[in-house]
Amino acid sequence: MHKNQRVADMAAEVLARQARAHAKQTGEAFEEALERVLKTEAGRQLRELRDGPDGGTRAFQWQGGLTRERRRERVQSAWEQFMLMEAELRELVQQKESQLV
């Protein structure tokens, strides 16, 4: 990734690299290989990045935003897990107390 590289450029480079590798393996023309790559799930996601609303964003800014979003998701997931464990613990304590009575 280059300092001023846009998300669209980064995605286009990856698609081209994958298409070249596929063309080399299969002997297909680059255009045919690119079409095959674009039909895969990874290719679809890269096309969305290339053509989507984040395409003009600088790649380093976009990746920084992803890092923050992933961190928030991990914290939220950890909190939800904690709350589930707390609820399970309360339920176990209640069951134990009812057995002692």
Check residue 72 and give its pLDDT: 82
Q: What are the structure tokens assigned to 4, written together?
A: 């001023």
pLDDT tens for the chain, residues 1 to 101: 556 777 888 889 999 999 999 999 999 999 999 999 999 999 998 888 888 876 666 666 666 666 677 788 888 999 999 999 999 999 999 999 888 87
C-alpha pair distances (Å), 74 with each of 2, 67, 80, 88: 28, 11, 10, 21
Distance CA 47, CA 36 (A): 13
Q: What is the pTM of this model?
A: 0.54
Check residue 62 and give its pLDDT: 60
Check residue 85 and give its pLDDT: 95
Check residue 55 and give its pLDDT: 63
Provide the residue ranges of all domains of the chain, joining segments of one domain with +.
Answer: 1-57
